[in-house]
């Protein structure tokens, strides 16, 4: 059975791009348009990988990533961040949340800044999923 990959991004064009890359490489894509829907889908569908945007309505990727990494049941879900927000900003925001009393969480393994080429994305997904 092909591996399930959830794309969480509010931009339909980016979702379409990622879904196309996933389908062409034999994965089963799932889509969510914001962090809240994304979290529900992660719990319900248990994807093998989440491709996560940062700046989104309702719940950002910063908070969703934090929720995943502090949840016993979800902390092992693999995540690739794909965003226009710089990696250093993402790391600083997590640091600020930790300083405000949040738990310390690991850095994302892969952080891609938009835009990304289809081959680059496919290669990274392959590397993460093995």
CA separation for the pair 106, 20 (Å, rounded): 29
- Binding segment for another protein (CB under 8 A), chosen from 22-30, 48-56, 71-79, 116-124, is 48-56
User: CB of residue 2 vs another protein: minimum separation in angstroms?
Assistant: 32
Report yes or no: 82 and 53 within 8 Å, Cβ to Cβ: yes
| By CB under 8 A, residue 4 contacts another protein | no
Which runs of E-coded beta strand occur in 1-130? 4-8, 28-32, 49-52, 78-83, 110-113
Identify residues 50-109 at the interface with another protein (CB under 8 A).
54-60, 62-63, 84-86, 89-90, 92-93, 96-97, 99-100
**Taking Cα atoms as reference points, which of 69, 70, 50, 44 lies closest to residue 9?**
50
Residue nearer to another protein on the CB measure, 90 or 111: 90
Report yes or no: 53 and 10 within 8 Å, Cβ to Cβ: yes
User: CB of residue 56 vs another protein: minimum separation in angstroms?
Assistant: 6
User: CB of residue 104 vs another protein: minimum separation in angstroms?
Assistant: 14
């Amino acid at each position: 059975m092909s591996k399930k990959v959830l794309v969480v991004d509010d931009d339909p064009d980016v979702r379409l791009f990622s879904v196309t890359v996933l389908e062409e490489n034999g994965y089963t894509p799932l889509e969510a348009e914001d962090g809240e829907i994304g979290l529900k889908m992660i719990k319900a569908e248990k994807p093998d990988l989440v491709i996560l945007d940062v700046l989104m309505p309702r719940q950002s990727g910063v908070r969703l990533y934090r929720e995943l990494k502090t949840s016993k049941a979800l902390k092992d879900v693999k995540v690739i961040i794909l965003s226009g927000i710089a990696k250093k900003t993402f790391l600083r925001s997590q640091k600020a949340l930790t300083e405000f009393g949040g738990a310390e969480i690991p850095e994302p393994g892969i952080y891609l800044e938009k835009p990304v080429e289809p081959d680059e994305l496919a290669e990274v997904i392959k590397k993460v999923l093995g």
